[in-house]
Amino acid sequence: MHSLRGMIREQTPLYLFVAVLFLVGVVFGALIVGALTMDQVQELSDYLGNFFIMVDQHGLDTSPEAFWSIAGLQLKWIGLIWILGLSVIGLPGILILDFLKGVLVGFTVGCLISQYSWHGLLFALVSVAPHNLILIPVLLVASASAIAFSLLMIRSRVTGRSGLAVKRPFVLYSALTLTLAAAILGAALLETWVTPVMMGWVAPSLIPGA
């Protein structure tokens, strides 16, 4: 555990880098909303309206199957980052995933705010924020660790010190990924059983005439 803490401290500059990259993605995603055509805006409005009616009338699936579906998707994301960190050529892929995650969050929040003003912001706070308060730090830590290990692999190839030189860092890297996977399960619990309840509270305020 002490070694894991030391590794995390050493990677602080990488955390800052991936955090900035994620924030750039968020801004880019929000800007995309403003670039939508009128037809696209209308389609988006119709989709959101139907979604809010469905949430208000029927709620969201809170079954164990829904939990494992949500958890599985996030675990695949973190697993892909882990795999990319094992490859010398996987570094650009890690950066792309971080940027895309930011774009998704920025676009989602931007759509809600552009369509529903402060009601949309409130819905974003209860639907997007809760589980992402766990998922985003997990993503940033996993990405920084993957980048650090990928850079270590590059140095080991250049210096010809592969094998034992990366054995202990690999163990620490994998142990950290498993720890983050446990955190993802916690976020999935929140998204499956807590977030839908809060969404049900806010959804009626977004339905015209409700």
Question: DSSP for 36-96?
Answer: --HHHHHHHHHHHHHHHHHHHHH----SHHHHHHHHHHHHHHHHHHHHHHTSGGGHHHHHH
At residue 80, the pLDDT reads: 95
With residue 154 as reference, give the H or E element that holds it.
helix 129-159
Q: What percentage of residues in the chain have a pLDDT greater than 90?
A: 62
Please answer whether residues 146 and 84 qualify as being in contact, where contact means their C-beta atoms are separated by less than 8 angstroms. yes
Q: Locate 21 and state its tokens.
A: 């990259």
* CB count in 10 Å sphere of residue 188: 23
Among 106, 97, 114, residue whose Cα is nearest residue 132? 106
In whole angstroms, give the CA distance from residue 139 to residue 133. 11
**Per-10-residue mean pLDDT, the chain, length 210:** 64 90 96 91 90 88 92 94 88 93 95 91 92 94 92 77 71 92 95 92 79
Please answer whether residues 197 and 53 qualify as being in contact, where contact means their C-beta atoms are separated by less than 8 angstroms. no
Residues shown for the chain: 210
* Averaged pLDDT score across all residues of the chain: 88
Give Cα 193 to chain centroid, integer Å.
18
